[in-house]
């Protein structure tokens, strides 16, 4: 298991303000390379906050489609290499065979001008449909979910420089949240934490402090949530992907205002204002 690392560091900076200039201290978040290695081979390296490594490994494996269920993972070992963190993930036989075939398919021949095609297809992979979800939210739920998430972000409160992903269940509030310097990382960590806690992704909404890119929609679908709620705007591809997956995408939640971009039928009727 990796040694516990500091999440923040205090630094000195020159602060310019309307009343003058002064040297003052400020807390800033740490980030470190985190490598995901399967069968002894590095698959991906992410710059991430040095915390919640087990959640990160499990969530990444699930949301990237490397495993279909947590029981396909035999073991997760976290090693602190000084310059970064190496997470060794051992897959069980069938999952490992499937993963090795996937690696060979994505590698392509060296120098081949077409070898990126498979990787592009992987990036644009279809997502599991979540249209069967019966979950509905009203305006109060949507506004409350963002407000409650802001109250469970200790790292952001200290530094003002990290993202958060939370899981909101009507009547219960934010039942799980994770923070990270990377928005995708925070969502992966949330995915892993939900699985470890035995929380059904279809029972609530994913709430994020970032914009909504297509990867955020893909990862939310992997969690099986039919809702993604964000404080910032979505991309066009994210909207199209959410629409195709049957997911309700709510974004630009600012105070009591928000926009519903896809599948508005899950938002209780009569609660969203019509705005230009």
Catalytically annotated residues: 112
Distance CA 38, CA 86 (A): 11
Distance CA 172, CA 205 (A): 12
Residue (of 192, 257, 191, 253) closest to 225 by Cα position: 191
Residue at token pair 């402090």: 209
Which pairs from 248-255 meet CB under 8 Å and 24+ separation?
A: 249/212, 249/217, 250/142, 251/211, 251/212, 253/142, 253/143, 253/146, 253/229, 255/143
Query: Are the C-beta atoms of residues 137 and 205 closer than 8 Å to each other?
Result: yes
């Amino acid at each position: 298991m990796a040694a516990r690392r500091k999440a923040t560091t205090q630094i000195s900076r020159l602060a310019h303000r309307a009343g003058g200039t002064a040297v003052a201290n400020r807390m800033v978040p740490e980030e470190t390379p985190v490598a995901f290695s399967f069968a002894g081979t590095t698959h991906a390296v992410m710059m991430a906050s040095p915390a919640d490594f087990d959640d990160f490994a499990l969530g990444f494996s699930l949301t990237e489609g490397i495993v279909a269920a947590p029981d396909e993972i035999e073991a997760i070992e976290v090693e602190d290499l000084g310059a970064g963190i190496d997470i060794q993930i051992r897959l069980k036989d069938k999952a490992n065979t499937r993963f090795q075939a996937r690696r060979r398919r994505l590698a392509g021949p060296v120098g081949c001008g077409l070898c990126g095609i498979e990787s592009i297809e992987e990036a644009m992979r279809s997502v599991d449909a979540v249209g069967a979800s019966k979950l509905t939210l009203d305006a109060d739920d949507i506004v409350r979910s963002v407000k409650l998430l802001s109250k469970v972000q200790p790292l952001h409160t200290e530094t003002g420089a990290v993202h958060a992903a939370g899981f909101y269940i009507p009547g219960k509030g934010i039942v799980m949240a994770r923070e990270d310097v990377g928005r995708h990382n925070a969502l992966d960590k949330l995915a892993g934490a939900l699985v470890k806690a035995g929380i059904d992704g279809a029972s609530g909404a994913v709430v994020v402090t970032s914009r909504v890119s297509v990867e955020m929609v893909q990862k939310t679908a992997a969690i099986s949530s039919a809702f993604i709620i964000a404080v910032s705007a979505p991309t066009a591809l994210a909207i199209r992907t959410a629409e195709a997956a049957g997911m309700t995408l709510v974004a630009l939640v600012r105070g009591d205002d928000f926009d519903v971009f896809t599948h508005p039928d899950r938002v209780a009727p009569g609660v969203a204002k019509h705005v230009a």
